[in-house]
Structure 1
Amino acid sequence: MKEIPSVINDNIKNLTSLWKTVGIPLDSYIKTPEFEYCKIKDSDWPNRLWFTKDVKQKDIDLVKEIVKSGNLTIPYWNTKSKNEDALFLKNDFELKFKQVAMYLKPKVCFEIENEIEIKRIYKKSEMKLWVDLYPKSFSYKISESILVNTNKDIHYYLVYRNNRPIGTAILFQTNNIVGVHGVGVVPEMRKRGFAAQIMKSLINVAIINNMDYVMLQASDMGRNVYAKLGFKELFEIKNYVAR
Structure 2
Amino acid sequence: MTINQSNITNLTGLWNKYGANPIESVHGVTLHGNRSWPNRYWFEITDSEQVDNLTPDQLQKALNKLINLVPSAKMLPILPLVNGSKKSNKAINEWLQQYLDNNNWQLTLEQTAMYLDLESYPSNSAANNDQLNVQKISSVEDIKTWVTVCEEAFGYSIDQSVIEHVKNHSEIQLLLAHINNQPVATALTYITQDIVGVHQVGVRKNQQGKGIAKQLMEKIVEQSKLDDKKLVVLQASKVGKPLYDRLGFGVLFEIGSFKR
Measured against the shorter chain, the TM-score band is: 0.7 to 0.9
Q: Deviations over 1:163-183 (max 9, x none)?
A: 100111000011110100000
Structure of greater Rg: 2
Q: Deviations over 1:80-134 (max 9, x none)?
A: 7946222211123111121000000123332224121111101111011111221
Where in structure 2 are the equivalents of 1:174-189 lying within 5 Å?
174-189=192-207
Name the counterpart of 1:6: 2
Q: Give yes or no for the alignment of 1:73 onto 2:69.
A: no
Q: Give yes or no for the alignment of 1:202 onto 2:232.
A: no
Name the counterpart of 2:123: 109
Q: Give yes or no for the alignment of 1:51 onto 2:54.
A: no
Runs of 4+ in 1 over 6 A off after TM superposition: none
**Conserved in 2, the CA contact under 8 Å of 1:48 and 1:72?**
yes
**Conserved in 2, the CA contact under 8 Å of 1:108 and 1:207?**
no
Shift of residue 78, structure 1, vs aligned partner = 4.5
Q: Which amino acid aligns with 1:37?
A: H
Q: Which amino acid aligns with 1:73?
A: M
RMSD (Å) for aligned C-alpha atoms: 2.1
Q: Which has the higher contact order (CA 8 A, sep 6+)?
A: 1
Where in structure 2 are the equivalents of 1:1-243 lying within 5 Å?
6-23=2-19, 28-31=20-23, 32=25, 33-41=28-36, 45-53=37-45, 57-69=60-72, 71-78=73-80, 82=90, 84=94, 85-106=97-118, 107-110=121-124, 111-112=126-127, 113-153=129-169, 154-242=172-260
Q: Which amino acid aligns with 2:34?
A: K
Secondary structure (helix, strand or coil) at the match of 1:168 reads: strand
In the alignment, structure 2 segments of 5+ residues that lack a partner are 46-50
Deviates more, 1:108-117 or 1:151-160: 108-117
Calculate the TM-score normalised by the size of structure 2.
Answer: 0.81
**Conserved in 2, the CA contact under 8 Å of 1:57 and 1:87?**
no
Aligned residues: percent identity?
A: 31
**Conserved in 2, the CA contact under 8 Å of 1:60 and 1:88?**
no
In the alignment, structure 1 segments of 5+ residues that lack a partner are none
